[in-house]
Amino acid sequence: MFGQLALNQLQQLWWLIASVVGALFLMLTFVQGGQTLLFSVPQTPQEKMLVINSLGRKWELTFTTLVLFGGALFAAFPLFYATSFGGAYWVWILILFTFIGQAVSYEYRRKPGNLLGARAYETFLFINGSVGLLLIGAAVGTFFTGSNFSLSGYNLVTWQHPLRGLEAAFNPFNVALGLFLVFHARVLGALYLLNNIDHDALNRRCRQSSLINLLLALPFLLFVLFRLVTMDGYAVAPQTGVVTLEAGKYLGNLLAMPLVFGLLLVGLLLVVWAVIAARFRDSRRGIWAGGLGTVLVALALFSLAGYNNTAFYPSKFDLQSSLTIYNASSSHYTLTVMSYVALAVPFVLAYIAYFWRLMDARPLTIEQLDEQSHDLY
């Protein structure tokens, strides 16, 4: 089946697969968003325990999906993996450290006699949800604004900036995208906690928090959208592979791919509706509309970056070193074998969905925490 596909079709297929995994990761950042609410939404130690144990049931899914996203990029687009993870290593190391802090915090926050105390581990969780997501947003922003690297004839990567990727955090577009991800994750976190916890006072504050954080996210979203439709983009000549700067490239991509424009619009409307339903209609199921909307918006962004003859990892230093889904991919054989392996992914997702349903069969309550006091985060 997949062996009959041309190389360029497999490359497009694997950019879609990687985009889906990346979109699922952004949906699962409700865990990171919920972590940043620890110092504002819960008002008592019991409420804080509810929040942490609700998130603690799901944090491994976010981390695993991030690793899967990196693995998919490594296997399907190894030149991108080598260029970004090998060249811009400071930004990725900092992101990794925030996730290590997250894992350690859930494991050791309640250990008796720990040296740092519970408050320190809760601070690590906040850093993971704020600094970690901000840096991830800045890294994704370089798909549109470009990075400072060059490639030799043997694909040897030379990073041309001493900050090794951290310079992305000084670009207004990248920072705005990162801040949008932070506040958007807080929206998803509030919606998830509302759905997963049965506690009237906490639920009321989650509803309010979802609206406040949506309003805080909107200015950054509008700035990102405005820049996307007005900024120059990195166009690739399909016949020669030559990369040039093109005015209004991403606006052109939106117009050339109406399905992508539809995904973006519907996704944003779903997130807004999720918050409205939670805040003004007493719905507790907003996380599902908000999560789906997040996936659709992320798919639209990744599509804008990679399809329609666009360099998805452009080089500001040397345009011809820019990476596309065609010059950065694995061989036809590798992509074919991987495509057969990917057929197992729906079964894995079904397995996750089944156990998710078992874990969330009933909302978490203080009484449940008392029953499970031996197995809490």
- Digit-coded pLDDT (tens) for 130-158: 999 999 999 999 999 999 999 987 778 89
- First CA to last CA distance, the chain: 46
What is the number of domains present in the chain? 1
Report angle CA 93, 294, 107 to the nearest 5 degrees. Answer: 45
> pTM of the full predicted structure?
0.94
Would 58 be classed as within a structural domain? yes
pLDDT tens digits for range 190-239: 999 999 999 999 999 999 999 999 999 999 999 999 999 999 999 999 98
Would 249 be classed as within a structural domain? no
Predicted confidence at residue 368, as pLDDT, reads: 81
Query: What contacts 243, CB < 8 A, 6 or more positions away?
Result: 234, 235, 236, 237, 311, 314, 319, 320, 322, 324
Would 17 be classed as within a structural domain? yes
Question: Dmax over Cα atoms in the chain, in whole Å?
Answer: 66
% of residues, the chain, pLDDT over 70: 98
Nearest Cα residue to 3 out of 337, 353, 352 = 337
Exposed/middle/buried for 249, CB within 10 Å: 0-12, 13-18, 19+?
buried
Would 307 be classed as within a structural domain? no
pLDDT band at 3 (very low <50, low <70, confident <90, very high): low
Would 265 be classed as within a structural domain? no
Mean pLDDT for the chain? 92
Q: Which domain holds residue 346?
A: 2-231+330-375
Would 282 be classed as within a structural domain? no
Would 306 be classed as within a structural domain? no
Would 108 be classed as within a structural domain? yes
Residue 98 reports pLDDT greater than 70 = yes
Residue 259 reports pLDDT greater than 90 = yes
- Count of CA atoms in the C-beta half-sphere (13 A) of 68: 20
Predicted confidence at residue 146, as pLDDT, reads: 95
Residue 348 reports pLDDT greater than 80 = no
DSSP string covering 70-104 = HHHHHHH-HHHHHHHHHHSHHHHHHHHHHHHHHHH
d(CA 90, CA 148): 14
145: tokens are 């604004």
d(CA 174, CA 179): 9
d(CA 13, CA 206): 39
Q: What are the φ and ψ backbone dihedral angles of 157, each rounded to 5 degrees?
A: -85, 130
